[in-house]
Amino acid sequence: MARRNRITNTVDIEPGRSFTHLSSDRWTRSLCEPIPAAARVFVIAFLLCLGSAPGWTQQKDQQPQQKVQQQQQKGQQEQQSDKQQMRGLDEQIQEVKSDVLRITAELSRLEEKLLYPSGTQVAIFIALAKGDPMRLDAVRLQIDGQLVAHYIYSAKELEALRKGGVQRIYVGNVATGDHQLEVLVDGKLEGGADFSRTEHFTFRKEVKPKLVGLTLAESASGNTPIALGEW
């Protein structure tokens, strides 16, 4: 039986060439040759990538949280900006209201001056005697036989008069000279009985504004029910 020979060399295949046998010495030297520099760089980069993979994963996980926090901060900033804008708008509205009230008051004074010149103007005011318990219901005024005012009082208006308030019940024009004023007062006494009183007065109008004051009280209190005064 023929003995087979051990394979002591290998075949080196070169492109475009025939088979070439490598001796055992050349095979050993090819295995022991150092790894090229490019291969070493690749291996090191691969190892670094493996080492940084957990950190990259953690950074990737933190990105959604950072986005949520940024969105929350942005939402809070927008809310604060909206509140500041609303506050600024409220202040502007209050300023406009104040300007409107001031202009309205000025227009009312101007209208009064135009409609009721100082030479012919007469104004009549109503007040309650201090501490008087009468419940005032209504007041009616006539000047020279002509009805000029008829006012019915609410509970709040009566309370204001009891606290010392004064009401301008009438303003108008009259010629200079003497005029007749008729005052009718309706109300209730402290005990609940009805109270009604009518008084007649004479006042003189000069060439300047005329201010007439009427102080009301119930007869049982000892005060004059309707007192005329010039203010």
Domains and CATH numbers, the chain: 121-230 (2.60.40)
Select the more confidently predicted residue: 154 or 2: 154
Q: Taking the mean position of all CA atoms in its chain, how far away is CA 89?
A: 7
In this predicted structure, the answer to whether residue 14 has a pLDDT above a threshold of 60 is no
d(CA 226, CA 102): 36
What is each CA distance from 1 to 5, 6, 7, 90, in whole angstroms? 13, 16, 19, 116
Average pLDDT value over all residues in the chain: 77
Q: Cα(99)–Cα(108) distance, rounded to whole angstroms? A: 14
Which is more confident, 27 or 106? 106
Lowest mean pLDDT among 85-94, 160-169, 204-213: 85-94
- Which pLDDT score is estimated for 1? 45
Q: Rounded distance, CA 29 to CA 15, Å?
A: 21
What is the DSSP annotation of 36-50?
A: PHHHHHHHHHHHHHH
Q: Could you tell me the pTM of the whole model?
A: 0.54
Picking from 14-18, 112-116, 223-227, which range would have the lowest pLDDT averaged per residue? 14-18
**Better pLDDT: 83 or 217:** 217
Q: What is the pLDDT of residue 155?
A: 93
pLDDT digits (tens, 9 = 90+) for 171-214: 999 999 999 999 999 999 888 889 899 999 999 999 888 999 99
Q: Percentage of the chain surpassing pLDDT 90?
A: 35
Please tell me the predicted confidence (pLDDT) of residue 87. 78
Work out the pLDDT band at 61, boundaries 50, 70, 90: low
Helix or strand (DSSP H, E) at 139: strand 135-143
Residues 6+ apart with CB under 8 A from 218: 132, 133, 134, 187, 189, 190, 195, 225
pLDDT at res. 50: 54
Task: Using alpha carbons, list the distances in angstroms from residue 66 to 31, 63, 142, 186.
Answer: 52, 5, 82, 78
Indicate the pairing of strand 121-128 with strand 210-216.
Answer: parallel
Least confident of 130-134, 141-145, 220-224: 220-224
Better-scored residue on pLDDT, 191 or 36: 191
Please tell me the least confidently modeled range out of 94-98, 111-115, 136-140, 163-167.
Answer: 111-115
Alpha helices in the chain (DSSP H): 24-32, 37-115, 155-162
Q: Is the pLDDT of residue 134 over 90?
A: no
